[in-house]
Structure 1
């Protein structure tokens, strides 16, 4: 039957494990600026430059286990603006979130840490970067949204392809021995 074990109609049924906390859970516990550096090396001359600077934006994700169920996720964003006359500004931000993970398989936890959690933290980190650039005396920079899930899937595919190529390269060598 389709209604069998339906949570909406079977409200009196006891949960599996007699109330045990077995459901997978993930979420952001807290978020904060861990490190912020703003350099304005050519001020005040850089405020008079006429040419639009070339922007270089780099980002990186790092995860550090804090406890069995908590991981610190760091989203590092570095923005460098260079013009012909020199570097206008450099903003380097490490924006972190404490991520709670419970009752999740390793691959689910990994996907949450490197795809979903960065997606949740990014809007806040983007605001910090924009405000820092504005406070340095320049037009605020609104970073475009990043498809962390797409990047995660792409990196998994590249890793699997590299592993498959490595195994394919090892197979003939093993067969010749």
Structure 2
């Protein structure tokens, strides 16, 4: 029989998921619509965290998609998808992994949907971003910090 005090319960709750900021730019419209479509896609990701109060964190995933056709900018889409999370009873390493990997994994599908909708509403072909392995990105970040410490 296990006693209550021998169990370590990790608590995690999604309080809210929301768009914090979004922008879509198509500076060469309408002439860009008449050009040949040879797109190159550049994807940039970044995460930001903000401790709001004890055990309450705002995590923001910034996803920036820049599409060019030859030398012309077709569009630039920037989405800051955010969430408020209750995270409790994790040690520092576990908390950092939760903030740097687990939370962005939750937020990314929302950001991907927002980007897809913005692109299609701008009358461009649908853009479906591939899944991102935030666990791997976080692990590489940790290794990089260790090497440069």
With structure 2 as the length reference, what TM-score do the two structures score? Answer: 0.92
Query: Are 2:25 and 1:39 aligned?
Result: yes
Secondary structure of the residue aligned to 1:50 is coil
Q: Which has the higher contact order (CA 8 A, sep 6+)?
A: 2
Distance 1:158 1:40 in 2: 36
Count of aligned residue pairs for this structure pair? 149
Contact 1:76–1:93, Cα closer than 8 Å, also in 2: yes
Q: Which has the larger radius of gyration?
A: 1
Secondary structure of the residue aligned to 1:16 is helix
Contact 1:28–1:117, Cα closer than 8 Å, also in 2: no
Alignment of 1:16-165 (within 5 A): 16=5, 23-84=9-70, 86-163=72-149
Distance 1:84 1:102 in 2: 49
With structure 1 as the length reference, what TM-score do the two structures score? Answer: 0.78
Deviating beyond 4 angstroms after TM superposition, the runs of 4 or more aligned structure 1 residues are none
Aligned to 1:170: none
1:48-105, Cα deviation, whole Å (9 max, x unpaired): 1113121111110000111111111000011111123521111111000101111221
Looking at secondary structure, tell me which structure has more strand per residue. Answer: 2
5+ residue gaps, structure 2, are: none
5+ residue gaps, structure 1, are: 7-13, 164-177
